[in-house]
Structure 1
Amino acid sequence: MTGEEMSQERLTHEDFAPHVGTDFTVPAEDDSVLIHFTLTEVKVLSHKPGFGDFRDPFQLTFSVATQDVFPQGLYQLTHPVLGEQDIFLVPAAKSDAGVDYCATFN
């Protein structure tokens, strides 16, 4: 399956796990530069039987090396293997290294 064919309904933690440490990009508001969201963690969440049994819930953590905090919302992230994915990101932590964002898939 190519990245263009992957829909969020079919994505699983196994799709993302091999790509930890790689960048997903988003164009800046003025399209002059790309913002790099580095996938730093893929975590399987506890599963409640009978609720969303089509996949195990999981969480992605991305890091951005900037002190600017982007608001939570839906971002179109592009990856060279997974293609374009609309992912709802939430700012989770800020440090001297930048800002971490989380996305949860149920």
Structure 2
Amino acid sequence: MELLRLDHFAGCLNQSFRAALNDGDIEFVLVEAQPLPASMPGAARDPFSLVFRNGSPLLFPQQIYRMSHERIGAFDIFLVPIARDREGFLYQAVFN
């Protein structure tokens, strides 16, 4: 698979992504896709951040998840829980 970039995700805001867990799949919704300041000239990609929401009352641990999306396909992503709001927990992935 090619290197993931912000433009892969920019058209997927408010869409569902499925993450594989031992007990089955869980749904994450992409709620934010933002560029980050460039860190190194000539890098393979520009850095960016993604924020996903999961509506489960359970907090999922910081770890690598096997995630899939109907347009993007399957990929591994390291998610870190960053906040909780009325709709669930928020998880961030940073690509640099």
- Whether 2:58 is the aligned partner of 1:68: answer yes
Aligned partners of 2:47 and 2:66: how far apart in 1? 21
How many angstroms does 1:95 deviate by?
A: 1.8
Aligned partners of 2:21 and 2:78: how far apart in 1? 16
Q: Number of aligned residue pairs: give it.
A: 96
Q: Which residue of 2 aligns with 1:105?
A: 95
Pick the structure with more helix per residue. Answer: 1
Any idea what SS the aligned residue of 1:63 has? strand
Written as runs of structure 1 = structure 2, the 5 A alignment for 1:39-54 is: 39-50=30-41, 53-54=43-44
Any idea what SS the aligned residue of 1:56 has? coil
Structure 1 unmatched ranges of 5 or more: 1-5
Pick from 7, 13, 25 the counterpart of residue 14 of structure 1: 7
Aligned partners of 1:28 and 1:48: how far apart in 2? 33
Q: CA contact under 8 A between 2:20 and 2:65: conserved in structure 1?
A: no
CA-based RMSD: 1.4
Structure 2 unmatched ranges of 5 or more: none
Pick the structure with more strand per residue. Answer: 2
Q: CA contact under 8 A between 2:67 and 2:77: conserved in structure 1?
A: yes
